[in-house]
Structure 1
């Protein structure tokens, strides 16, 4: 793959070194030429000094043949402008941008540009280390909106189809662990005693999902 990275800070340089070390072709753009020292003497890619949303700078970095583009500078506006140029002008299929403002991140996600809302994500992860939750979270998306949690089920759910659990809680089952093996559940999959159930939730829905799943005497049983 040929990957263009806009921004040679700690994140950009680490990403570039990782990709270069795995044999990918990497081009790194930064306005500050001194930033390229972070790449180290063994970096085998190319560096381009300039503004990351300048078309000529992007072309010098090989954007026209790029398979992927990452905008990871310290500025939200610069990241979004360059990400949109890569996607909309140069047709790069895999584009991601780092965004500090979580509200902006949600807007650009709707435009089809995946974003990493770093401050919200990092703060959320730290909160969860500092304040243990009553549920086992196994995944949280980079925008810190959707998570996958293990949901302990009341025995009343055993023998019922996954669809009834999803209808009752209003949440999707991501996967099951059955006899120690992961499985993708179908709506018709019947819940068995000993199943570990992992569901997709948001912070707003997690309490309701946990309450309903752990409750006896569910309607329809």
Structure 2
């Protein structure tokens, strides 16, 4: 039974209306990442950072899963082996599409984190600059997302899955953000087959055994159909 580890990035959610980051109209062309995606930016201006993530949280709640999200959930349901989904995305569209056990290595918009005591809770639509932690009462509430300079979540678990996989698939990623960009190298070092599904070739495209290009809503369901027919 083949174990498949899938990494997804912003490209899988783009057709659901969630903006990507690095194209000409991406989020990083509209704001300075140093201002809204670093601990230092939050310390300087918590009101601006909370406002940015409040907007993204509402947009994420309004978004609907697309055919690519639904296809991966179908693969989990019908593949004879294990299908592990690791996502860089902070939306919950995989879960909305029916996927289970998704590893959110960069956190989630619908979660809040206390910078003081580490407590997590469901984030309200609007978080205040001095958002109070329900556990310790301190005004240290922040978005539960991984910022630049912070360690992504569950990395040991992810590398364990990569070590035991038969196939690694990267979907909708730029191949520019580490450590996720290094997963294909980790897979190749472990003699694991690798496949890239993307709108265009990523920065690490040459490292994949195979690359298929096109919109996620087209190429992901087509690939899943191939695998399901084999089962």
| TM-score between the two structures when normalised by the length of structure 2 | 0.38
> Is the strand fraction higher in 1 or 2?
1
Which structure has the greater CA radius of gyration? 1
| TM-score between the two structures when normalised by the length of structure 1 | 0.39
